[in-house]
Amino acid sequence: MVKAVEQEKLIEVKNLKKHFKVDGKATLQAVDGVSFHIYRGETFGLVGESGCGKSTTGRTLNRLYDATDGEVIFDGENVHGKKSSKQLKALNRKMQMIFQDPYASLNPRMAVEDIIAEGIDIHNLARNKREREEKVIELLETVGLSQQHASRYAHEFSGGQRQRIGIARALAVDPEFIIADEPISALDVSIQAQVVNLMQKLQRERGLTYLFIAHDLSMVKHISDRVGVMYLGKMAEVAESEELYGNPLHPYTQALLSAIPVPDPNFERNRERIILKGDVPSPVHPPSGCRFRTRCPLATEVCANVVPRWIEAGEDHWVACHVYDEEYNHNFKQKSI
Amino acid sequence: MENILEVNDLHVSFETHRGEVKAVRGVNLTLQKGEALAIVGESGSGKSVTTRAIMGLLPKPAGRVKSGGVLFNERDLTKLSDKQMQRLRGSEISMIFQDPMTSLNPTMTIGKQIMEVIRRHQNVSRADAKNRAIELLGLVGIPNPEERIKQYPHQFSGGMRQRVIIAIALACNPHVLIADEPTTALDVTIQAQILDLMKDLQKKTNTSIILITHDLGVVANMAQRVAVMYGGKIIETGTVDEIFYEPKHPYTWGLLSSMPRVNSKNSELFAIPGTPPDLSNPPKGCPFAARCPHVMKVCTEVMPDYSAVSDTHQIACWLQDERAPKVEPPEEIQIGGDHE
């Protein structure tokens, strides 16, 4: 756990938007005005339910998707600015990605050494064949595999081992920032712990910065220094992870935390769970005002009329909800659920 | 308590190009009337294969029950003909699958799919079946059931589809409901809705449930009893309290402590090293021996028998033998139920 001493911002996301055209006409607002920052050396967890825009945010951060609007500043450089292919290549090297599905994200026709060394080749990081081989072996050992695995193919590995290969591939180009999009969701519980421990070890050793995208809130709490909660393309709340889980402010965060089943029968028998009604609305036609209002137990008229502002409700604890806005909070009799 | 279903020394194997894979290797289970029994374990532990054998849904011809039986209503289900099983499935024993996206027919309206099940198993008119379909959709919490039965699966969200599947499973008032990872594909807030619904329906209909899941939180929420499977065998079984608060098998310890707890913050998670055994060549002794931190010489040689620490709590582990050294469970799981 690196508490970034100087709190230097490695990534700054300002009012980021990513809209997709669907059926030619309609616009799907996958990410709609999201702002947050990630300090150097920390793990920022991004949580939310399917369709909330967390993966799109991740992919827009490293320009896999072009942003519709807004800015991503990485180490002082505008990611979405005009760039020569050389500049873009240099940027790509610094930002790597680990994907959810270890079965689909490795090329089945390539030997593991070539999968891992692809980035090394593209960025000319090895002077000759021997150096390339040495690097691959070192990477394999770093992620807990061995030299003998280098010549094998992806199908010969278990899910957990494949995810280790995916991590080795990301590390091969010596990145500063890794976007891990649901890196453990497809793995068994006992294997998840192995992969998470490995990621944390690598972070300590190499000073990596992570964006950890997941829907498993207990795992996100475990690994993250700070956490952002997204709902339907908007950021609902951002805070340090202890603070967010101990003192959730946004009604959606409260409901989300209350919905996690805890592996403790006594606790489960006695807990009062907030059960949200209904489903997440379509991001093609999001509700007016606050996007969570259609499921929010606290919603009043103002929530339908005014988009909530992004307010610092506590120290480094940001929330988008009228309940915490001095201008509007007189509209709410009940302040929490 | 009355047993409604008994699995006796069940062995299931699959013929593959690499030879015989012994997926289930001697499983004994009892399901009591009105209870929810959870089977937990990792992929490949044999939990899904066990329930598919109960349902007579093993892929043919690769998979077959090699020995053992499934006793239900004084009949051995493994001895029934395909026709007899078809009559039983969906009426006396129903199943809910993991993926609500693929278990419905995309070309048929929801109403037709529910009515199909009712009319196949019960001698009722179309109008009565339709009314029952509407009633069922209302029961599982779908608003406007009169309108919704005319719609197709793609017009439903994931959570709503899982409700429809539950409605279909309950259409003929089954005695046993097998739910294979019923909430794994759903988001947490929707999962909470579905778990609530299933518990509510269980109370109302007194259906017995076999719940297959890898999520120990879901187990703690839903189940009264738990069977932990590993390498095709049940290695520990007990009430939820026994499994969560007094687990005895090192694999159960590993499972419980490898989950991050919302209320604790340790810098490192407990991880079980290694991977599960290859069941085309199953180990001679305890399947967990290769990964077990407390492994002894005997573990790799001989599979331990079950020993009972209470009427409900049984463990297959050599550590239970009186000659074995005393081993304390890891710190992470000594919570003793004093959750804040």
* For residues A88-114, average pLDDT: 92
Nearest one of B152, B167, B151 to B117, comparing CA atoms = B167
Q: Is the reported ipTM for this assembly greater than 0.85?
A: no
* For residues A97-123, average pLDDT: 92
**Residues pairing with B16 in the sheet:** B19
Q: Which residue of A has its CA nearest to B44?
A: A188
Which of chain A's residues have a Cβ under 8 Å away from the Cβ of B273?
A: 194
Query: Chain B closest CA to A265's CA: distance in Å?
Result: 4
Q: How far apart are CA A176 and CA A39, in angstroms?
A: 12
Contacts of B269 (CB under 8 A, 6+ apart): A193, A196, A197, A222, B257, B258, B260
Burial A117-128 (b: 16+ CB within 10 A, else e): bebbeeeebbee
Q: How far is CA B67 from CA A53, B25, B78, B104, B124, in A?
A: 50, 9, 9, 33, 39
Tokens at A245, concatenated: 């889980």
Report pLDDT digits (tens) over B220-255: 999 999 999 999 999 999 999 999 999 999 999 999
Q: How confident is the prediction for chain B on average, in pLDDT?
A: 90
Phi and psi torsions of B206, nearest 5°: 55, 35
Please report, rounded to a whole number, the percentage of residues in chain A having pLDDT higher than 90.
Answer: 73
Q: How far apart are CA B262 and CA A261, in angstroms?
A: 10
Which of chain A's residues have a Cβ under 8 Å away from the Cβ of B334?
A: none
Q: Does B155 touch chain A (CB under 8 A)?
A: no
For residue A5, pLDDT over 70 is answered with: no
Full DSSP string of A298-309 = T--HHHHHSPPP
* Strand ordering across the sheet containing A226-231: A95-98, A177-181, A209-214, A43-47, A226-231, A234-240, A317-319, A311-314
Q: Between residues A227 and A280, which one has the greater pLDDT? A: A227
* For residues B8-16, average pLDDT: 94
Q: Does B219 touch chain A (CB under 8 A)?
A: yes
Which of A189, A200, A279 faces B159 most closely, judged by CB atoms? A279
| Contact criterion met (CB below 8 Å) for A239 and A316 | yes
For residue A94, pLDDT over 90 is answered with: yes
Which of B256, B268, B335 faces A197 most closely, judged by CB atoms? B268
Q: How far apart are CA B257 and CA B260, in angstroms?
A: 7
* For residues B283-296, average pLDDT: 94
For residue B338, pLDDT over 60 is answered with: no
DSSP state of A111: B
Q: How far is CA B83 from CA B52, B67, B80, B115, in A?
A: 16, 21, 8, 20
pLDDT value of residue B265: 56
Q: How far apart are CA A109 and CA A305, in angstroms?
A: 54
DSSP state of A91: H
Q: How far apart are CA A307 and CA B215, in angstroms?
A: 37
pLDDT value of residue B334: 58
* For residues A169-186, average pLDDT: 93
Residue A126, SS3? coil
Q: How confident is the prediction for chain A on average, in pLDDT?
A: 91
Question: How far from the centroid of its chain's Cα atoms is residue A74's Cα?
Answer: 16
Query: Chain B closest CA to A295's CA: distance in Å?
Result: 11
For residue B264, pLDDT over 60 is answered with: no
- Return the number of CB contacts < 8 Å for A and B: 128
* For residues B301-312, average pLDDT: 95
pLDDT value of residue A4: 46
pLDDT value of residue A129: 94
Burial B182-200 (b: 16+ CB within 10 A, else e): bbebbbbbbbbbbbebbee
Query: Chain B closest CA to A317's CA: distance in Å?
Result: 19
For residue A71, pLDDT over 60 is answered with: yes
Q: Which residue has the tokens 């965060």?
A: A253
* For residues B1-12, average pLDDT: 93
For residue A6, pLDDT over 70 is answered with: no
Element (H, E) at A297: none
pLDDT band at B340 (very low <50, low <70, confident <90, very high): very low
Nearest 5°: CA angle at B275, between B269 and B280? 160
Q: How many residues does chain A have?
A: 337
Phi and psi torsions of B113, nearest 5°: -70, -35
Report pLDDT digits (tens) over A112-153: 999 999 999 999 999 999 999 999 999 999 999 999 999 999
pLDDT band at A7 (very low <50, low <70, confident <90, very high): confident
pLDDT value of residue A192: 87
pLDDT band at B339 (very low <50, low <70, confident <90, very high): very low
Q: Between residues A273 and B265, which one has the greater pLDDT? A: A273
State the best of A47, A143, A190, A279 to mutate against chain B, taking most chain B CBs within 10 Å: A190
pLDDT value of residue A274: 87
Phi and psi torsions of B186, nearest 5°: -105, 155
Please report, rounded to a whole number, the percentage of residues in chain A having pLDDT higher than 70.
Answer: 98
The amino acid at residue B147 is: E
Q: How far is CA A97 from CA A137, A168, B186, in A?
A: 20, 11, 25
Which of B42, B193, B220 faces A268 most closely, judged by CB atoms? B220
Report pLDDT digits (tens) over B126-158: 999 999 999 999 888 888 899 999 999 988 888
Phi and psi torsions of B180, nearest 5°: -95, 105
* For residues A233-246, average pLDDT: 95
Report pLDDT digits (tens) over A263-305: 899 999 998 888 888 778 888 899 999 999 999 999 999 999 9
Among A47-56, A133-142, A166-175, B21-30, whose mean pLDDT is lowest? A47-56
Q: How far apart are CA A248 and CA B255, in angstroms?
A: 28
* For residues B204-219, average pLDDT: 92
Q: How far apart are CA A21 and CA A39, in angstroms?
A: 33
Q: Between residues B187 and B8, which one has the greater pLDDT? A: B8
Residue A17, SS3? strand
3-state SS of chain A: helix, strand, coil percent to 5?
A: 35, 25, 40
Q: How far apart are CA A181 and CA A18, in angstroms?
A: 17
For residue B336, pLDDT over 70 is answered with: no
Which of A160, A215, A265 faces B188 most closely, judged by CB atoms? A215
Tokens at A118, concatenated: 């692809």
Phi and psi torsions of A43, nearest 5°: -110, 120
Which of chain B's residues have a Cβ under 8 Å away from the Cβ of A256?
A: 188-189
| Contact criterion met (CB below 8 Å) for B83 and B22 | no
Report pLDDT digits (tens) over B90-111: 899 999 987 777 889 999 999 9
* For residues B209-216, average pLDDT: 92
pLDDT value of residue B190: 84
Burial of A313 (0-12, 13-18, 19+ CB in 10 A): middle
For residue B324, pLDDT over 60 is answered with: yes
For residue B259, pLDDT over 90 is answered with: no
Mark yes or no for CB contact A196/B221 under 8 Å.
no
pLDDT band at B329 (very low <50, low <70, confident <90, very high): confident
Secondary structure (H, E, C), chain B:
CCEEEEEEEEEEEEEECCEEEEEEEEEEEEEECCCEEEEECCCCCCHHHHHHHHHCCCCCCCEEEEEEEEEECCEEHHHCCHHHHHHHECCCEEEECCCCCCCCCCCCCHHHHHHHHHHHHCCCCHHHHHHHHHHHHHHCCCCCHHHHCCCCHHHCCHHHHHHHHHHHHHCCCCCEEEEECCCCCCCHHHHHHHHHHHHHHHHHHCCEEEEEECCHHHHHHHCCEEEEEECCEEEEEEEHHHHHHCCCCHHHHHHHHHCCCCCCCCCCCCCCCCCCCCCCCCCCCCCCHHHCCCCCHHHHHCCCCEEECCCCCEEECHHHCCCCCCCCCCHHHCCCCCCC
Report pLDDT digits (tens) over B53-78: 999 999 888 999 999 999 998 899 99
Q: Which residue has the tokens 């409605």?
A: B167
Q: How far apart are CA A333 and CA A335, in angstroms?
A: 6
pLDDT band at B263 (very low <50, low <70, confident <90, very high): low
pLDDT value of residue A219: 87
Element (H, E) at A222: helix A217-223
